[in-house]
């Protein structure tokens, strides 16, 4: 009985350590919601923002800018058009190799036939200068 228990604990330990090691590959993010009056003009690519100066360069906010700790965090923005009313959700953000990442977004199209714009914003741990973030968009018809 003691042997079976030790085997179980050993297997559990290996699984926990193994999954912990994978966390370097999958960067967990905090979703960030902008005020309705904040917007940015770059479409179809990910904007990487690492400073207050870059934030003000890319984003227009008539009232106030969001507060972000750029010493430890990076803000990522993505925006594009959709043929119908759309809702976008970040599905994942993964590191694919050194300084290369991929942002996966799911865009759900609704029944309304008006042209729409979707956008997502998220905060992640600080990305180094020269990092490249690709954008993968999955369209789902509702």
Tell me: the pLDDT tens digits for 71-109? Answer: 999 999 999 988 888 888 888 899 999 999 999 999 999
Core vs surface per residue 6-25: b (16+ CB within 10 A) or e: eeeeeeeeeeeeeeeeeeee
In a domain, 106, yes or no: yes
CA dihedral 103, 108, 112, 116 (to 10 degrees): 0
In a domain, 14, yes or no: no
CB atoms within 10 A of CB 105: 22
Phi and psi dihedrals of 132, rounded to 5? Answer: -125, 130
Give dist(CA 48, CA 52) in Å, integer: 12
Collect all residues with Cβ–Cβ distance below 8 Å to 27 and sequence separation of at least 6: 93, 94, 95, 101, 124, 125
Give dist(CA 92, CA 138) in Å, integer: 12
What domain range is 74 assigned to?
26-141
Band the pLDDT of 40: cuts 50, 70, 90.
confident
Q: What is the pLDDT of residue 135?
A: 96
Q: Does residue 1 surpass a pLDDT of 50?
A: no
- Please tell me the pTM assigned to this model: 0.76
Collect all residues with Cβ–Cβ distance below 8 Å to 33 and sequence separation of at least 6: 121
In a domain, 21, yes or no: no
Number of independent structural domains in the chain: 1
């Amino acid at each position: 009985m003691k042997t079976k228990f030790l085997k179980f604990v050993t297997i559990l330990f290996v699984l926990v350590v193994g999954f912990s090691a994978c966390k370097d590959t999958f960067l967990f993010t905090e979703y960030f919601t902008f005020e309705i009056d904040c917007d940015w003009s770059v479409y179809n690519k990910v904007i990487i923002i690492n400073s207050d100066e870059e934030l003000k360069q890319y984003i227009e906010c008539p009232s106030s800018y969001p507060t972000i700790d750029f010493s430890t965090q990076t803000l990522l923005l993505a925006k594009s058009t959709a043929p119908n009313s759309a809702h976008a959700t970040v599905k994942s953000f993964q590191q694919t190799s050194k300084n290369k990442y991929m942002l996966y977004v799911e865009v759900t199209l609704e029944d309304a036939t008006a042209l729409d714009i979707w956008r997502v914003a998220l905060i992640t741990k600080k990305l180094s200068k020269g990092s490249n973030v690709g954008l993968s968009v999955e369209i789902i018809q509702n």
